[in-house]
Amino acid sequence: MTENLTKTQSAPKRAALLWAIVGGAAATAASTFLAWTWTTNFPGNLTIYGNPAPLQLLTLVGAVLTALHALSALGVKGLGWLTPAGARKALWIMALGTFATTLFTTLAIVVELGALVDLEPGAGVAVVAAAVPAIAAYLLPDDTRKAAPAKQLASWIEILIIVAVFALGLFVVTFGIDTDDSEPQLFIAYLILVGFSAVALIKSGLTQRLSAITARNRQVAVTSSLVAAIAFPFLQQSGDTYTLIAVNILIFATVALGLNIVVGLAGLLDLGYVAFLGVGAYTAALVSGATSSAFGVQFPFWAAALTGMAASLVFGVVIGAPTLRLRGDYLAIVTLGFGEIFRIAMGNLDGTSGPKITNGPNGIPNIPHLEFFGYNFGKPHTVLGVELGAYANYYLLMILIMALVVLVFARASNSRIGRAWVAIREDETAATAMGINGFRVKLIAFALGAALAGLAGTVQAHVNTTVVPENYVFAGPVPPNSAFLLAAVILGGMGTISGPIVGSALLFLIPAKLQFMQDYQLLGFGLALILLMRFRPEGLIANKRAQLEFHENDDQVAVPEQRQSEDEDADAGTAKAGA
């Protein structure tokens, strides 16, 4: 009875706080139509009344999302689906993200222009108004609950939801990549808002329901993701300027997926994995008709790609056969040594220190562009009335290769060999005792991962048109390198498909867009990893089994029924693999 009385007394307070949040969010949205500075010297032109600049649009989006979450908590009909796991945490994070985005913009104006007087009253209104929802949401009582199972909707409605989600995701990604490099403030504010919004969606339980919908319509989800990826170059407003970033992200992600087989599934710590990317790139450069090639041959791309994959696979077997009997730190040190040996060897094959094959530190330049049946990848082409540049051609090629790699990863991880990899990762001694040939299984993982990296390397050689040893180091300011590849797998989520792709995108896109922070990016990268290991050690997109291991005492972690059945199948498959 006392508990019911307390709830009755707190209900008016909760409603008042929620209405304060709605009012603050409305005021924040209105402030974006005011001028925030009087001079156009600040990038983006925040001087116009009634027409929000891109930086102000971010605040506007955050305010609208905050208001919608608050209205959902108030029980407004039709918005209850926004917060199935409770509104307080998601609402506070969303309001805090809006405030952080607004505050960053105003501070950027002061720092860039040099004085507080450069702010117009609209900026002050925006900061104060955005602070109100953040404070009010913090004072809300916690209403976190286990999300009730969502009712299954009509199939056409679920298909529309999936299409809308992928279309929205495509717009968000395109907006971030298309931000002007001369306006780093816009990209930083974009990262702040997207990061807080993503966490808010997770806390609200909405992502779990979306995952259930995509699981029931897997073919539609896969098709939608593929269509959204293919549509990206057609939506580029800057021509081919930023498509190169997307191509490199796909190359980086393909290599990370190969490493995910070695690290995420088999549990083998490989610190020299970038060397396999280099093997594929150098092989393709030598057999693709480069003017400085020592062989003087020109294979068609499909043959060059197979040759690069085969060379990387052979190197994987040759390196793995004598070293995979080692475990843990010893294996990591040996693979690190292999990566350095490869880089040094490529630099010494210059005709002076060794045979003249790779031109030493000068590398192999002038690698010709690909050509399929008269379609030259190095020239712009008009498709569906849109002119696609050279990098757009390579982007579409990498989409096909990425789809192939994802298929290989999914089939391998769900096979008997994949179950054996998981068993080796969890406890090699126990797996060996159950009859699994640990050495053979690990060698297969090493060889398959190396082959996928070699395939990505063949495309990288043609995209960059030059291959040099400095591209394949353990750690450096520009990915991909072994340290960043391993970080992409851990950051995204080991053992998953989408995790390394997201991790690769973040680790490549952020340094590419924030080049002015190049001297401090390793510091920021280290701090980000520390925070990740503290608050989400399982990665951004977690494997459900790993998530339960890291949060075994957290009542809020729930495993969907479908995933539970998959884990049961995995356990059964592991037992079969040992037979």
Q: Give the C-alpha distances (Å, rounded to integers) separating 53 from 364, 435, 513, 544, 571.
A: 46, 64, 19, 41, 54
Instruction: Say how far apart CA 252 and CA 483 lie, in whole Å.
Output: 12
Mean pLDDT in residue range 234-262: 84
Which pair of structure tokens corresponds to residue 520? 């401090």
- The answer to whether 318 and 335 are in contact (CB under 8 A) is no
Name every residue whose Cβ is closer than 8 Å to that of residue 168 and which is 6 or more positions away in sequence: none
One-letter amino acid of 499: G
pLDDT over 90 at 425, yes or no = no
Confidence grade of residue 318 (pLDDT, cut at 50, 70, 90): confident
pLDDT at 561: 38
Confidence grade of residue 239 (pLDDT, cut at 50, 70, 90): low
Instruction: Say how far apart CA 360 and CA 294 lie, in whole Å.
Output: 12
In sequence order, the β-bridge partners of residue 388 are 381
One-letter amino acid of 175: F
* DSSP strand pairing (375-376 vs 371-372): antiparallel
Mean pLDDT in residue range 89-110: 93
* DSSP strand pairing (386-388 vs 381-383): antiparallel
Cα atoms in the Cβ-side hemisphere of radius 13 Å centred on 127: 13
Q: What is the DSSP letter of 41?
A: T
Which pair of structure tokens corresponds to residue 150? 């969502």
Q: What is the pLDDT of residues 259-302, one digit of tens each?
A: 999 888 888 888 888 899 999 999 998 888 887 777 778 888 88
pLDDT over 70 at 550, yes or no = no
In sequence order, the β-bridge partners of residue 381 are 388
One-letter amino acid of 416: R
CA-derived radius of gyration, the chain: 26
One-letter amino acid of 316: G
Confidence grade of residue 92 (pLDDT, cut at 50, 70, 90): very high
Name every residue whose Cβ is closer than 8 Å to that of residue 287 and which is 6 or more positions away in sequence: 293, 295, 297, 298, 299, 303, 304, 307
Q: Give the C-alpha distances (Å, rounded to integers) separating 193 from 95, 98, 352, 539.
A: 10, 7, 54, 20
pLDDT over 80 at 574, yes or no = no
Instruction: Say how far apart CA 316 and CA 273 lie, in whole Å.
Output: 10
Which pair of structure tokens corresponds to residue 318? 């040759």
Q: What is the pLDDT of residues 49-66, one digit of tens each?
A: 988 999 999 999 999 999
One-letter amino acid of 391: Y
HEC sequence for 185-232? HHHHHHHHHHHHHHHHHHHHCHHHHHHHHHHHCHHHHHHHHHHHHHHH
Residue among 25, 105, 27 at smallest CA distance from 65: 25
What is the pTM assigned to this prediction? 0.83
Q: Give the C-alpha distances (Å, rounded to integers) separating 176 from 100, 221, 236, 269.
A: 18, 23, 11, 33
For all residues of the chain together, what is the average pLDDT?
83
Q: Give the C-alpha distances (Å, rounded to integers) separating 390 from 61, 236, 409.
A: 34, 13, 29
Please list the alpha-helical segments (H only) found in 37-84: 54-73
Mean pLDDT in residue range 345-362: 82
Least confident of 23-27, 159-163, 419-423, 536-540: 536-540
Residue among 124, 217, 203, 126 at smallest CA distance from 165: 217
Least confident of 192-201, 418-427, 438-447, 506-515: 506-515
One-letter amino acid of 267: G
Domain segments of the chain: what residues?
13-231, 246-546
> Higher confidence at residue 75 or residue 573?
75
Architecture of the structural domain at 246-546:
Orthogonal Bundle (1.10)
pLDDT at 96: 95
Confidence grade of residue 568 (pLDDT, cut at 50, 70, 90): very low
Q: How far apart are the first and last CA of the chain?
A: 59
Residue among 438, 521, 534 at smallest CA distance from 478: 521
Instruction: Say how far apart CA 272 and CA 257 lie, in whole Å.
Output: 15
Q: Count other C-beta atoms under 10 Å from residue 571's C-beta.
A: 12
Q: Count other C-beta atoms under 10 Å from residue 458's C-beta.
A: 29
Q: Give the C-alpha distances (Å, rounded to integers) separating 243 from 381, 463, 481.
A: 14, 12, 21
pLDDT at 549: 63
> Higher confidence at residue 326 or residue 45?
45
Instruction: Say how far apart CA 540 and CA 9 lie, in whole Å.
Output: 39
Unique residue bearing structure tokens 């509104």: 87
pLDDT over 90 at 36, yes or no = yes
Instruction: Say how far apart CA 284 and CA 460 lie, in whole Å.
Output: 9
Q: What is the pLDDT of residues 300-317, one digit of tens each?
A: 888 888 999 999 999 888
The length of the chain in residues reads 579
> Higher confidence at residue 357 or residue 130?
130
pLDDT over 70 at 455, yes or no = yes
398: enclosing H helix or E strand = helix 390-413
